[in-house]
Chains A and B, each alone.
Chain A
């Protein structure tokens, strides 16, 4: 059974850097086609993909946020960490962690429950 759970500070000040952690179970991120990614959703708005990392350490980052995002994995801890710099109130959103398998159809088949990050002074 695949599960994912996000953790992050609930409140962040503008210009700060935030670290979001995804802890997962039920699969290994050592398997090459398997990936874990981050999707966010501002309140009342649409979904937006942020970044993915795969078993071979291949990384994909949204072109519009590329300069602000860093994604890493710790296979031994079953964790993926996303760092976002220079936070702004427009970054207020629920951040979801997702599972993906590139050997399938690029679908996002398992999602975490999400964690709300509010950016405010």
Chain B
């Protein structure tokens, strides 16, 4: 099972919006509305930001939103802030055998 494909890096200025893509296949992202996104600051554990493709946990700002089209999921960060600078990983359920597949990771830089 290959990893989901994410851009290596995305950057934006404070206040701007950025979008991170996560491309999978018909065996994972394309088949299930079970994509989640994780934010990871250096030296820290990943933190759940989006689940079920677009749902936000209570601890996540409304500036973060998720969507999906076909086999590509996306994470959009609106009103970019310095604290959003981190690595972001997508993850999809991929059936009872493969179970999970993670993305390659995207480094977000706030200019």
Contacts and interface: CB of A to CB of B under 8 A. Distances in A.
**Binding site secondary structure of chain A:** loop
Given A63-B97, A106-B36, A111 B89 contact: no
Number of chain B interface residues as a range: 20 to 34
Nearest to B36: A107
Interface residues of A, number: 21
A30 to B, nearest CB: 22
A42 B102 CA distance: 14
Contacts of B51: 104-107, 109
Interface of B: 1, 3, 33-34, 36, 38, 45-48, 51-52, 55, 57, 89, 91, 93, 96-100, 102-105
Given A105-B34, A109-B48, 6 more contacts: A60-B99, A106-B51, A107-B36, A108-B38, A112-B45, A114-B45
Interface of A: 39, 46-49, 52, 60, 62-64, 96, 104-109, 111-114
